[in-house]
Amino acid sequence: MVVVDPARVPVETVRDLTTKDLPTPGIPLDLLIADGGLWCQHGGLNRDHRPCPALTAGKACDCRGILNGTADLSGTPDRWLAELTSGSRLIAPDPMAEALLRRRLPAAHARRVTLMDTSDVFGDLQRPKTVAPRGDSFGLLAVGHAPADFALIQHLARRLRQMRPRMPIVVFGETLDDLALMALGNLAVTGAVGAGELGDLARHYALGGLVIARRAPLFGHPLIAAAFHDVDVPLAFVDWSFGHAQIAAVDCRIAPARNEGSIVAELLAWIAKW
């Protein structure tokens, strides 16, 4: 049995299926680490959009409580890890997830980490051999509808309007309020995009650079993989590999512990270079 969202699955629910006390051996339990839910019920950001110390600094999570109207059912990482048997695995869908797991887990559990081969489905996180600006447009990739990501896009777009009012801004994907973003002026929102379209869209809009506007960890997502291996312009992203991701010299890796204001300041400094 594979658990893919430990933040929302009670440990007790799977214990009945995996317990060794059953008349027949229990079902082996694997954990697929697609986000930060093993450590933080909110996935990596608290309600104030601040990074969870459990993920960024290895401290106890202080983001717990009520999520979506339900009590915290997931327990702690120790409770989940205690349910693993000798045959259990901690599955990383991409190298960034693998790096986070090896950083956050005790050595005994880090040896259980297995990296999935998803290159035939999602691609990988390898950057193109040649990465350089194609034009003067600025791209933002929206992945999901998290309020923290929308706030980052809106904050950055407003500052760019002040710094470079003539720079075209393109948001790839859907956001919480597309019309509010377009009201800023000289900004287009494409709506939903597929992973296979992203490289062509970057060329069509003559991007100077692209920001993956996702603050909380999300691993194995096809749009994020496509941004890495299909988009051959400078790329900026929150680096949940903590420096282990292979990037181009012109790319910008952002420390996960940064707050929204410092992320925007870092991105503006990066944009000023091209």
146-175: pLDDT as tens digits: 999 999 999 999 999 999 999 999 999 999
Q: CB–CB of 178/258 below 8 Å?
A: no
Domains of the chain: 2-115 (no CATH), 137-271 (3.40.50.2000)
Tell me, what's the pLDDT at 135? 95
User: So what's the pLDDT on residue 61?
Assistant: 84
CA separation, residue 154 to residues 22, 158, 169, 199, 271 (Å):
53, 6, 11, 24, 16
Q: For position 65, what pLDDT does the model report?
A: 53
pLDDT in the model for residue 177:
96
pLDDT attached to residue 75: 55
DSSP 8-state secondary structure symbol assigned to residue 169: E
Burial 56-75, CB ≥16 within 10 A → b, else e: beeeebebbeebeeeebebb
Q: Which residues of the chain have pLDDT under 50?
A: 22-23, 66-71, 73
Sheet holding 187-189, edge to edge: 187-189, 169-172, 137-141, 207-212, 235-238, 252-254
Q: What is the pLDDT of residue 64?
A: 60
